[in-house]
Amino acid sequence: MSVFTADAVKQYEEKGYLLHKKQLFSPEKLSRLTSIFEEHLADKGAKLSDELDTPHFRDERLLEFLLSKVALDAVEPLIGPNIALWSSHFICKDPFVGRATPWHEDSHYWKPRVSRIDKIVTIWLALDRSTRENGCMRVIPETHLTFGFSEYEDMDATKNTFQSAIRNVDMSKAVYFELEQGECSLHDARIIHGAEANTSPYRRCGYTMRYMSTETRVFHEKKPDFKIWLARGVDMAGNVYANA
């Protein structure tokens, strides 16, 4: 059963995002997920705290959360009943030094690897309180309707999580996703989004859980070691799944 009303789904379709100002997981389950994150953070070695990509490849405990009924019930009304787990990422901005995330579209980076870039959604789960002060996510509403491919320019990768950023973004339209711990946002892969650097004394960590319709064909030859899971329903595009 969907966790969203018909009006909320309509907003997602029109604006490209939703804010879920309720706890996605139970307190006990959120505590376990946070503990797993803290383990990954402690073991990151030379990586920066925002570079903990696809942690579920190395730690299958995370599949309990990624393939959970509550997460899939949240995304089903947005992309349909046949759902693949596309990816996940612990994105942590450390106090005072957390890098900015430049304006970008996920679709810009994913296009070469998939047959279509609609019906791809990210749940951004706040493991820490996320505010404007510590660099919460922000989006430019309705930009997913422009097909997800803007003009980019080079950026300084030492200060930013990406080496490029979208040119000429109208900052006056930005919506900031301020979330309490355990709340989440959902956004379309084509929407323009980013985050400012964390110059505050408060850590800002989120767990992104990314899903796509199984109507999307993943070109496995582009990244042979990358794994996807059939999360709900049936395959529609002839993909290869880790849990097949």
Q: For 116-141, how does the pLDDT look when each residue is reduced to its tens digit (9 = 90+)?
A: 999 999 999 999 999 999 999 999 99
Look at residue 157 and tell me whether its pLDDT is greater than 80: no
In tens, the pLDDT along 22-41 reads: 999 999 999 999 999 999 99
Look at residue 70 and tell me whether its pLDDT is greater than 90: yes
Tell me the pLDDT band of 1, cut-offs 50, 70 and 90: low
Q: What is the pLDDT of residue 87?
A: 98
CA 81 to chain CA centroid, nearest Å: 19
Q: What sections of the chain are H helices per DSSP?
A: 6-15, 27-42, 55-58, 63-66, 69-79, 106-110
- Sign of the Cα pseudo-torsion (230, 3, 208, 161, in order): positive
Q: Which domains does the chain have, with CATH numbers?
A: 6-232 (2.60.120.620)
In tens, the pLDDT along 194-216 reads: 999 999 999 999 999 999 999 99
